[in-house]
Structure 1
Amino acid sequence: MGATVAIIGRPNVGKSTLFNRLVGKRLALVDDTPGVTRDRRPGEARLGDLRFTVIDTAGLEDADATSLEGRMRAQTEEAIAEADVVLFVIDARSGVTPLDSHFAEVARRSDRPVILLANKAEGRAGEGGLYDAFALGLGDPVAISAEHGEGLADLYEALLPYVERVEEEEAARDEARIGIDLDESGEAIEPETPAGTRERPLRVAIVGRPNAGKSTLINRMIGEERMLTGPEAGITRDSISVDWLWRDHHVKLFDTAGIRRKARVQEKLEKLSVADALRAIKFAEVVVVTLDATNAFEKQDLQIIDLVAREGRALVIAINKWDLVEDREAAWQAIRDAQDRYLNQIRGVQIATISGIQGQGIDRLMEAVFTAYDVWNTRISTARLNRWLDGVLAHHPPPAVQGRRVRLRYMTQAKTRPPHFVVFCSRPEELPESYTRYLVNTLRDKFDMPGTPIRLSYRKGENPYAGKAKKR
């Protein structure tokens, strides 16, 4: 991807709508509330035969540098510094405001080419603001409607001097999305290329309750203040991805919004943020659930862990803010006790103690991530499975139901990511849930699959005499 294009402007002028239009997906959250976007979000954009990286940014506001709005503005300034060309967006229906004039001067002082866009210019309502835009001194404004896709041909002409055109074959390669593929049931499909390479980085989602330190952890990992952080809870709204190289392994990290209890999520914007976080879990390969060491394993933590397990993703638990713990030996024992008590469904899940703000334990966490990924991809031969099944049946056969014992005849592995096993048996509907848990736990221990979700399903063998008439 060649040129980088930053979209800037005051709040609620349609920057995220334009970003979604250019990338061809609803990646950025969009709402009528001003200030929805906070972190800068990059995306792979296409406009005709132009291919470039576009950066969505927070709305520019004149505020103190230490405030949340001031830190958001700093993120936008970083995006301007990274860009080859800047799209300065105004609301044509509102006309030019004093804030537009103030930040137009900021854009003009940057050493980047600036293209002025008058958004929401459809119909007559935007004509006045379009003519007012000439007063900003940024050249002729380009009238567009990001919501309806109008004016994109004029935007193409404006970008053409700064963005290289690509041939059709190269464009097709650029459009390929690297990530986890799902089958019809939502299970991950095993790829041909191993994860951790440049062609297919390992996708790791960092999730947890609000203010657990997720964004701070990612900033420490990549070594820069990429994510917006602060003492306020719930700063992150969009799920933002960043690329990272760890020990020659390529990783794509996803920062997500904090997930609160469903009953507490009332506002539409927070619902959208949580939905974005859940989507990041669904398309991740490994999910790191971040807990606050000062109050770990609360009910919401357990619900998030259970959600990840039900989605079938590889799981690692990070106990963050470990630097705040005074009696670490007692705290670690309490964590182990909680693990034994609450996490029976994913017994043996790896737990790493870290400090995102000090950078402690990050290597240990990533070692656990790659170990969990390897276990998630475990494949066991059919012969080994059936030898194990014979031993299990001899030691602990399934219970008899109405005087007849359920017969388990044959077992094979259907999928990996997570490991999914199929048992062929008679009357599978009669097997109690407790026996399924017994098989899963024994399978986990025998074949060394700690902490990964395991799927076990049953299939009923066909009765060869079902269609024949009964003899007298």
Structure 2
Amino acid sequence: MNTIPLVALIGRPNVGKSTLFNRLTRRRDALVDPSPGVTRDRHYAKIDWEGHAFSLVDTGGIEEDDGLGGHIREQALVAVEEADIIFFLLDGREGLTPGDLEIAGLLRRSQKPVFPVVNKIDDADLENELLPPFWELGVDKVWPLSADHGYGFAELMSALLPLLNSEARHEELPENTLRVAFLGRPNVGKSSLINAITGESRMLVSEVAGTTRDAVDTRLSCGQYAYLLIDTAGIRRRGKTTDKLEKFSVLKTLGAIGRCDIALVLLDAGEGITEQDTKIISYAQEQGRALMVLINKWDLLERERKRQLQLLEEVREAVKFVSFAPILKVSAKNGRGIKRLFPEMGKIQRQFHSRFPTSALNRLLADAVAQHEPPLHRGRRLKFYYTVQLATAPPRFVVVSNAPRAVHFSYQRYLVNCFRDGLGLDRVPVQIFFRERSGRRAKK
């Protein structure tokens, strides 16, 4: 499995980084304003360009190291350090400045692939007029661009694509390795639990919240089975995510969810379940990952039976939206519940990658419809012709209908439950989509 490369937009204030970010994301995610210094923090997006995936980070402009400018400079320097590829934006109308030369020296020392992009060049005439001074940078290639109007954009992206393949980091793992990501708020015990599982202090463990800054992988073999345990940075509530490194850590954590099979979300038994815990669970749900909810630090409640029962009820109530996810009580400190993890993960993995014959699926659909017919739509009964499995991890199915857009979410949920029960998929997410029969138009 590849981990996708990170492309950072670097440059002085007001050279057009946010405008290029918006063009790449095809939406107005970044604030664009003619005033210098508008981008106060880094903005991120996952981009899929002609089948090639990469993460994009927009940074504040690098300027003098004082006041707010110093904070922006640190943010940009972090992005340079973490990036795989850099777009170095310059202002074609303003020309090459001492600040540009300083940034160029910084990027040269980073030894990362750098694309010097001269922005605000709208046509070939301006290219011929404005580009020559930028050869003073001493680079092999300079890319003219109008981030606002698109001039030079196709050529820039064509040059980027080959690097996306080479910069993608490939995990050389045994076949059928189970990838497990440990998620949660800061200081819930993710690293400690991995240490308890492996029996080694491979992860840095500290009482200071937020020790893990990156997604750290640990390989583990147990008999014929191979595992990749992914330790991630704690995800704070958005309003509290202010540290210059921490926002990058959140991006890494979300990326770890995308490359795992099972997301283990840890809760703190001493603090109970919080709104942020359910938000983290929803991140995994949105990416279709299998889930386990682990109540860590259970040893804190060892002699509090009433609180144990109360907490379990609170957790079950809060995670009803992922009712398929097993809830386990564990303690990284004394090892409680750890032996149960692997058999449970094995059951989840088998369900997560299950495939079913189409004939069995169609019988299941027919039985579900016979037991509970779909409601009328504009006076006509909804019809479901057949179903097939689209994919695994998670199991995804498509149901062909005469009016797919008319299927109410409550009936979709009913079918999901029927498929879950009928196929024995009680521990994983199940997704059902509706599609119109080819060659026919849905009735209006």
Instruction: Calculate the TM-score normalised by the size of structure 1.
Output: 0.57
What are the ranges of 5 or more consecutive residues in structure 1 without an aligned counterpart? 1-24, 42-119, 126-143, 151-174, 180-196, 467-472
Deviation at 1:340, TM superposition (A): 4.2
Count residues in correspondence: 302
* Higher Rg: 1
Which of 367, 373, 378 is the equivalent residue of 2:343? 367
**Counterparts in 2 of 1:331-370, with a 5 A limit?**
331-370=307-346
Q: 1:176 to 1:270 in 2, by over 3 A?
A: closer
* Residue type of the alignment partner of 2:219: D
Match of 2:283 among 307, 315, 318: 307
Q: Alignment partner for residue 170 of structure 2, among 166, 169, 177?
A: 177
CA apart distance, 1:260:
1.1
**Percent identity of equivalent pairs:** 35
**Residues of 2 paired with 1:208 and 1:246: CA distance?**
25
1:220-269 residue CA offsets vs partner (Å, 9 max, x unmatched): 22222222212111111111111112344221111100011122212332
Contact 1:242 1:253 in 2 (8 A): yes
Distance 1:208 1:454, change over 3 A: same
Counterpart amino acid of residue 246 in structure 1? C
Cross-structure match for 1:269: 245
Per-residue deviation, residues 135-155 of structure 1 (Å, max 9, x unmatched): xxxxxxxxx9334579xxxxx
Distance 1:422 1:331, change over 3 A: farther
Structure 1 equivalent of residue 361 of structure 2: 385
- Please tell me whether the aligned partners of residues 422 and 457 of structure 1 are also in contact (alpha carbons under 8 angstroms): yes
SS at match of 2:110: coil
Pick from 428, 433, 441 the counterpart of residue 452 of structure 1: 428
Aligned mates of 2:349, 2:305 — CA distance in 1: 28
Equivalent pair of 1:213/1:290 in contact (CA under 8 Å)? yes
Query: In structure 2, what is the equivalent of residue 115 of structure 1?
Result: none
Maintained 8 Å contact 2:324/2:429: no
3-state SS of paired residue (2:182): strand
Whole-Å Cα distance in 2 between the matches of residues 309 and 271 of structure 1? 21
Deviations 1:53-110 (A, max 9, x none): xxxxxxxxxxxxxxxxxxxxxxxxxxxxxxxxxxxxxxxxxxxxxxxxxxxxxxxxxx
Q: CA deviation at 1:300?
A: 0.8
Quote how far apart the aligned CAs of 1:200 are.
4.7
**1:449: how far off?**
1.0
Partner of 1:145: 109
Q: Which secondary structure does the structure 2 equivalent of 1:375 belong to?
A: helix
Q: How does 1:103-142 map to 2 (within 5 A)?
A: none
AA aligned opposite 1:449 = L
Provide the alpha-carbon RMSD of the alignment.
3.5
Matched-pair contact (CA < 8 Å) for 1:346–1:450: no
3-state DSSP of counterpart to 1:422: strand
Corresponding letter in the other structure for 2:264? V
* AA matched with 2:317: R
8 Å Cα contact 2:233-2:250 kept in structure 1? yes
Amino acid at match of 1:307: Y
Q: Does 1:324 align with 2:300?
A: yes
Query: CA deviation digits over 1:93-135, x for unaligned, max 9?
Result: xxxxxxxxxxxxxxxxxxxxxxxxxxx9x97x9xxxxxxxxxx
CA, structure 1 residues 420+322, in 2 after alignment: closer, same or farther (shift >3 Å)? same
Point out where structure 2 has 5 or more consecutive residues left out of the alignment. Answer: 1-53, 60-72, 83-101, 115-167
Structure 1 partner of 2:43? none
Alignment of structure 1 residues 134-213 onto 2, 5 Å: 145-147=109-111, 177-178=170-171, 198-213=174-189
Q: Does the CA-based 8 Å contact 1:216-1:227 persist in structure 2? A: yes
Q: What residue is the counterpart of 1:228 in the other structure? A: 204
Q: How does 1:36-75 map to 2 (within 5 A)?
A: none
